[in-house]
Amino acid sequence: MTSEGFTVDLHVKVLDEQVVQRAKARGLDALVYAPHFVRLPDIRARADHYSDSELTVYPGRELFTGTWQRRRHVLAVGLDEMVPDFLTLDGTMAELRRQGAAVLVPHPGFLSVSLGLDELRTYRETIDAIEVYNPKYLPHHTGRARRFAAETGLPVFASSYAHLPGTIGEAWVAFDEPCPDEAAFTSALRETATRRVHHRDGLAHTLRRGLEFAHLGYENSWEKFDRVMLQGTAPTHPDHVAYGGRFDDVKVY
């Protein structure tokens, strides 16, 4: 990794000792860990466990909004309170504004799981950045995301979006100033601190992209949703007792 500054892989789905060692080998200073269907306290505990003086792991939540068939993903950093999946998009955005979280849009316009240009414009004052590169992108995805950024004037970011440990550090953002804790990092995202977007290239990167894209089939399957969300009350289902009925007025399930 050749960039200077405070380097962050802004969205990863996996976290263990192998991930930490790979992140350090890639020269990263921090990761944002945001697994699916895991409540914030558990994400935070795991992030704290794997953070040390060389690598900071920030907790994040990639929220699934709307129904499974018409879901839209929103990545939140800096949450103080739990937010479940499968709320209306408007209800999710209102809660993220209330909490003062940094609101990031992963893979805009990607397949059927992302915010499009109309939604980016609608929530322009809430959104803090949109993703213009991850290894699952094909060239037209990158071009479209950059066009969305240009048309909305939103800041940009990149991430490995790693579902597999070997993808950690394939894409990252370099900030000019260090972010020693979650509050400072959230502020940097919300205040559009100076940043540069980077990703690896070459044959190894191409192969890694292929592996991640192949993983996408199961990741977006109805079978996964049925197993995780419909067979009993899942941890991030809005009906779970942990949420105390707070979101009943904006839930879609």
Nearest CA among 182, 186, 159, 183 for reference residue 170: 159
Mean pLDDT of the region 206-223: 72
Nearest CA among 175, 203, 202, 201 for reference residue 190: 175
- Res. 2 pLDDT band, cuts 50 70 90: very low
Core vs surface per residue 179-192: b (16+ CB within 10 A) or e: beebeebbebbbee
Look at residue 209 in the predicted model and tell me its pLDDT: 86
Distance (Å) of CA 84 to CA 11, 47, 252: 19, 19, 11
Nearest CA among 88, 104, 83 for reference residue 240: 83
Nearest CA among 33, 189, 167 for reference residue 96: 189
What 8-state DSSP symbol labels residue 167? G
Look at residue 210 in the predicted model and tell me its pLDDT: 85
Size (the chain), residues: 253
Look up residue 230 and give its amino acid: L
- Res. 136 pLDDT band, cuts 50 70 90: confident
- Residue predicted with more confidence, 47 or 180: 47
3-state DSSP assignment of residue 102 = strand
Q: CA-CA distance, 8 to 26, in Å (whole number)? A: 11
| Inter-helix orientation angle 40-50/17-25, to 10° | 60
Look up residue 165 and give its amino acid: P
Look at residue 221 in the predicted model and tell me its pLDDT: 57
Q: Which spans in the chain are helix H?
A: 17-25, 40-50, 89-99, 117-122, 139-152, 182-190, 203-219, 222-225
Mean pLDDT of the region 53-75: 94
Q: CA-CA distance, 220 to 231, in Å (whole number)? A: 17
Q: Residue 201 pLDDT more than 50?
A: yes
Look at residue 7 in the predicted model and tell me its pLDDT: 98
Tokens 């992209």, residue located: 209
Look at residue 93 in the predicted model and tell me its pLDDT: 98
Q: Residue 137 pLDDT more than 70?
A: yes
> Which range, of 95-99, 102-106, 113-117, 159-163, averages the lowest pLDDT?
113-117
Q: Which residues pair with 103 in a beta bridge?
A: 76
Enter the tokens of residue 68.
């499974």
What 8-state DSSP symbol labels residue 129? E
Q: Which residues pair with 32 in a beta bridge?
A: 58
Look at residue 139 in the predicted model and tell me its pLDDT: 83
Look up residue 117 and give its amino acid: L
Q: Residue 107 pLDDT more than 80?
A: yes
Please name the CATH architecture into which domain 6-243 falls.
Answer: Alpha-Beta Barrel (3.20)
Tokens 């992108």, residue located: 137
